A and B are shown apart, each in its own frame.
Chain A
């Protein structure tokens, strides 16, 4: 079965550079979530989109922005990268009003800022 696809799997950037992370949800899923997991930490919610509109916002820095496109894929744009942005970034998708609240996670993108 198709799963959530994230790209790239690994990314190394220098401080002050920009990074773009991509997420392709499970077909027909209408909701995408982004999470950030620092080393040894639990995943922290960043932002979510439902039907291409931002639906909720968590602890996402102003340097980060995200959007969901017409094909439902989502991109997380991160600018002026800092060392502390080094983390595993997860994308998840769900079908919001399916009656089943399960969110399916991608494998994550490991971002290292040097």
Chain B
């Protein structure tokens, strides 16, 4: 079945460090891929998405490229801020019409 695997957290970085959160997926066909962010005590917010191979999603300095050959959708940001501290979820949207989430990666950015 379809599944998403993320690197385990927590990830702790200093402000302005480079961020990579790995995400790989298993799916039939070509699902749309998403990164959602959840700030403490809040709901899920869409961060970025890509709907086909080689698409690059980007938002707020974050970006991720849909790599069909490696079935990956790694999240990157060149310079993180304290305000980026949150839990990040990679997800895929399958043909059945539901989102399947990875286990989430907690990011903590220290000043």
Interface residues of A (CB under 8 A from B): 31, 33, 35, 41-45, 48, 50, 55-56, 58, 90, 92, 96, 101-108
Contact = CB atoms under 8 A, between A and B. Distances in A.
Contacts of A58: 98
A101 B98 CA distance: 10
Contact of A92 (B99, B102, B104): B99
A106 B93 CA distance: 18
**Most chain B Cβ neighbours within 10 Å, of A33, A50, A101:** A101
Contacts of B22: none
Given A56-B98, A92-B99, A43 B46 contact: no
Q: Is the interface of A mostly helix, strand, loop or mixed?
A: strand
Given A101-B93, A102-B49, A103-B93, A45 B43 contact: no
Nearest to A4: B43
A90 to B, nearest CB: 6
B82 interface: no
Q: How large is the interface on B (under 10, 10 to 19, 20 to 34, 35 or more residues)?
A: 20 to 34
A104 B44 CA distance: 8
Interface of B: 32, 34, 36, 42-46, 49, 51, 89, 93, 96-104
Contacts of B51: 101
Contact of B43 (A41, A44, A101, A108): A108
Given A56-B96, A56-B98, A107 B49 contact: no
B98 A42 contact: no
Given A42-B89, A42-B104, A43-B89, A104 B99 contact: no
